[in-house]
A and B are shown apart, each in its own frame.
Chain A
Amino acid sequence: GDSVTQMEGPVTLSEEAFLTINCTYTATGYPSLFWYVQYPGEGLQLLLKATKADDKGSNKGFEATYRKETTSFHLEKGSVQVSDSAVYFCALSQAGRRALTFGSGTRLQVQP
């Protein structure tokens, strides 16, 4: 079946550092890929998504590119802020499947 693998956390960075959170997937066909973010005490919210190969999703300074050749969707941000501290989930969806498949989540802690 489909699966999503994320790098384990926590990831601890200083403010203004460069961020990469790795995400790779296993799926048949052409899934859509997502990054969701969960701030402390809140539900998940969509951060960005890409629905086909080579698409780049971007939002709030975060970016991720759908790489079919490496089955990856790594999340990047050039300069993180303390307010980016959260748990980040990579996920995929497939046409005909009634659920998102989530990775295990990566906690990001940004220190001032």
Chain B
Amino acid sequence: EAQVTQNPRYLITVTGKKLTVTCSQNMNHEYMSWYRQDPGLGLRQIYYSMNVEVTDKGDVPEGYKVSRKEKRNFPLILESPSPNQTSLYFCASSPRFGRGGETQYFGPGTRLLVL
């Protein structure tokens, strides 16, 4: 089954404790992206990757890191989480992106609470 998976689905942590949220897709997509969803704000992009070893900042990258060492995986790293990073996070992928009209495929989401 074609899908985007994320782990963990739920996470409670404390300020400053490094964490990684994994994202994997089995569709051989070139493009992958991370969004955060906050009430009243919709989804905002954190980072994206056009292909292996090619990553760039989205609209809200502060406090996050990413890497793309393999085509299928795109982990999101919070080196020192803070309470304002409490949010619902979604990973997304697409065969390509940037020409307009491409559909993105979303993972099930990771709900993070930083105390």
Contact = CB atoms under 8 A, between A and B. Distances in A.
Interface of A: 4, 30-32, 34, 36, 41-46, 49, 51, 89, 93-100, 102-105
Given A43-B108, A46-B103, A93-B100, 9 more contacts: A30-B100, A32-B100, A32-B101, A34-B103, A36-B106, A42-B109, A89-B42, A95-B98, A104-B41
Contact of B103 (A4, A41, A49, A89): A49
A48 to B, nearest CB: 10
A104 B40 CA distance: 5
Nearest to B57: A98
Interface residues of B, number: 28
B106 A104 contact: no
A99 B106 contact: no
A99 B49 CA distance: 11
Interface of B: 4, 31, 33, 40-45, 48, 50, 56, 58-59, 90, 92, 97-104, 106-109
Given A97-B98, A98-B97, A43 B109 contact: yes
B106 A45 contact: yes
Contacts of A99: 33, 45, 48, 58-59
B106 A43 contact: yes
Contacts of B45: 98-100
B9 to A, nearest CB: 9
A36 B94 CA distance: 15
Contact of A43 (B58, B98, B107): B107
Given A93-B100, A100-B104, A105-B42, A43 B4 contact: yes
Contacts of A98: 31, 33, 45, 48, 50, 56, 58, 97-98
Contacts of B100: 30-32, 51, 93-95
